[in-house]
Amino acid sequence: MLGALAAMILFCVAGSALFIVLLIVISSMGEKHVSVEPGSYLVVDLSTNITDAPPVLDFGMLTGDAVEVIQLRNATKAIRSAAKDSRIDGVLITGSLRPDGLGSGYAALAEMREALSDFKTSGKPIHAYLTYASTRDYYLASVAGDVALNPFGVIIMPGLATEPVFFANAFERFGIGVQVTRVGKYKSAVEPFIRDDLSAENRLQLQSLLNDIWTGLISDVAASRDLTVAAIQGVVDAEGLIRADKAKDAGLIDRIIYQDEILDELKLATGRNGTELPFKQISLREYAAVAPDPGGYGTGRIAVVYAEGDIVDGEGEWTQVGGDRFARELRKLRQDDKVKAIVLRVNSPGGSATASEVIQREMRLAAMEKPVVVSMGSYAASGGYWVSTYSDRIFAEPTTITGSIGVFGIVFDVKELAGNIGINFDSVKTGRFADALSISRPKTDAELAVLQRSIDWIYEQFIEKVAESRHLDRSVVEEIAQGRVWSGSEALKLGLVDELGSLNAAIRYAAEQADLGGGYRVTEFPRRKELGEAIAELLQRLQPAGARSGIYSDLLRRMEMELKTLNAYNDPQGIYARLPINLTFR
């Protein structure tokens, strides 16, 4: 007993000490003094995940699951500020992106690339050093005037592909019933649950979408590298995994060198040749903390609201767009006289139709009182388009995935699964449809007809809203809807968006519409987590160490993503306006 008591006391003391140390570490995160030495290079380390929304306080470093996050707007602001900063002599791009969730999408990378191109016009050099470069990495690095690759490095750029996961056979094997209703021949979000392959319509729209995005990517690369699109496609199809010598022969890179060689060159360029000190440098993350805001002054405020994640009913989690939470924030901004304009940045595949309407209602009310502008990120589809359509102007990137104007319903039942383990259900009810939403049994034809009527009505409302807000004939909207997914460049041709441009372009437009000129400040929502919230998250996330890389980890992450999607299906009516699948590009 004494031994056990002593162990408990020791555990409590050690735990308290660890907790105090943790608080000290957290406090020190914001106390680091950042200075920029004259003649420094800005190091853009791609070993991060680029998100639209400000990252909440993350404990990844302490839980063994470290994926650094940097906010897109902070990154682009820092790069553009560095172009005018006399202390910054150039940029070094290195590392390899670590996409996670909806982060580091091609639309976000296009904005990063635009900022790097703006830096390049200042006359300062941009060097890129790569070892294992994915398509995303090379897309950014190709803007550099000097692209170098490790002799044993490779550019992994075989083209774009997407591989949806299908659960129908697994559900059948385990006795999980699935019944669906939908409107729109391209509205294929239900296919993973009822099929084991792509439908012809889904295959057609995905092929068209990938073609649009891929053409945009290699067109940008071709312009930067003074190559033709056909030449790049030729080497991609011939090599797939492009070795250093093949990459140089094709003009994709300028040099083949080792890392120590480029580091020595940078030491010489920054006046530290022959010393043991590294070349003068400052990381993008550190510089972003001290880089001035392009607006930066004035009494007028522009509120940037980041709708990033699945749109869900209620408050939602931090990685979701909770309908009630976002509507409440939009209402506050609408009623705040200091806020002169609102920019909604959408990076969402959609989700709950009910939640989308709750948010759209507040967007419409806000647009009656002040400029409301939408900036579409990598995804702004279905529910993501629903919340966008009534804004004064919609900006998108060519590689934005948008449209998907369609609605579907999905209901599950566990009757067979429960029966296999000896569990049965029975019911007593006072109305014909009283237990229609139960998961204990399949739905009757009459019950499915009720759900289909709701789906049809919501789809009609969706069509009507788009036609009204976008000033399009209803017949035109009906033709381009049907759940069809479009790229940003195609959406512009169809009238679904107004202009191709970045988040910064949307903010500038909002400032002009609010007569703020160049004098304004930008505030953002969601806010960062408070310390107590972050600590609570840490306690929830603490878990035994396991495999974090390799095939197991990749499969686990993919399954977690699909399960999170299932968990996001929380609309009270079971009706959704969501992107057909979780699009992941290889």
Alpha helices in 226-243 (DSSP H): 229-239
Here the tokens at position 443 are 């739905």
- Check if 427 is active-site: no
**Cβ–Cβ under 8 Å, residues 271 and 39:** yes
Strand partners for 346: 307, 376
| Listed residue (246, 210, 163) closest to 486, CA to CA | 210
The dihedral region occupied by 299, where left means phi > 0, alpha psi between -120 and 50, and beta the remainder, is: alpha
Q: How far apart are CA 510 and CA 515, in angstroms?
A: 9
- Check if 382 is active-site: yes
Angle between helix axes 72-84 and 503-513 (nearest 10 degrees) is 80
Catalytic residue among 187, 370, 443, 465: 187
C-alpha distance across the termini of the chain, in Å:
58
Grouping H, G, I as helix, E, B as strand and the rest as coil, residue 235 is helix
| Listed residue (125, 136, 133, 119) closest to 81, CA to CA | 119
**Cβ–Cβ under 8 Å, residues 500 and 492:** yes
Q: Compute how many other C-beta atoms are within 10 angstroms of the C-beta atom of residue 424.
A: 8
Report the amino acid identity of residue 237: D
Q: How far apart are CA 281 and CA 135, in angstroms?
A: 26
Strand partners for 577: 351
Catalytic residue among 40, 81, 142, 382: 382
Strands 401-403 and 485-487: antiparallel
In sequence order, what are the residues at sequence separation of 6 or more whose Cβ sits closer than 8 angstroms to the Cβ of residue 426?
none
Report the amino acid identity of residue 332: K
- The residues annotated with a catalytic role in the active site are 187, 382
